[in-house]
Amino acid sequence: MGITQILFWVLSILALLSAILVVISKNPVHSVLWLIAVFIAISGHYILLNAQFLAIVNLIVYAGAIMVLFLFVFMLMNLNSDTEPQKNKWLKIAGVVAGGSLLLVLVAALKQADMKGQLAEMNKGDIGLIKNLGMVLFQDYVVPFEISSVLFLSAMVGVVVIGKKD
């Protein structure tokens, strides 16, 4: 077994354990910190697949900006036991039924998938490099890219207008 496979399995186990800890943590701040660990493990997978740009963007955008936003929201909410909603047993049962249904759908989909002949190409090729991503983005998808930039600009203007004092 090569170093790439060992690293893949270590990152996969880290991602799965961290994701489980995100869900079962009682403290929302601890959940956010475990979610950052999940994003770091996912970025490691991107690097193994030779997609360095996606790995860096994942770290900067998700593990950086989004998680800081989550932490600020949790700090501003001032969560304590008095403001916490009461737990309803029917909601727990509905959550277990919904989760079990999702698990059954995932297991059925994975049983039908033919993955024996499929292998991910690791540390070879240049499909994930930023030069190729930029070429595809600005040649094949230039109109959707420009439309999304106008959408983001209008969203920023809207935020400034809404946040402006009278």
d(CA 49, CA 24): 30
Domain boundaries, the chain: 3-128, 129-166
The pTM (predicted TM-score) of the whole model is 0.60
Q: If we measure between CA atoms, which residue out of 99, 102, 100, 121 comes closest to residue 110?
A: 102
d(CA 135, CA 40): 27
Cβ 7 vs Cβ 44: under 8 Å: yes
pLDDT tens digits along 109-166: 888 777 666 666 665 666 667 777 788 888 888 898 889 888 888 888 887 787 776 6
pLDDT tens digits along 40-53: 999 999 999 888 88
State both tokens at 25. 């943590």
H-run or E-run covering 105:
helix 89-112
d(CA 120, CA 85): 45
CATH architecture entry for 3-128: Up-down Bundle (1.20)
User: Is the per-residue pLDDT at 10 higher than 90?
Assistant: yes
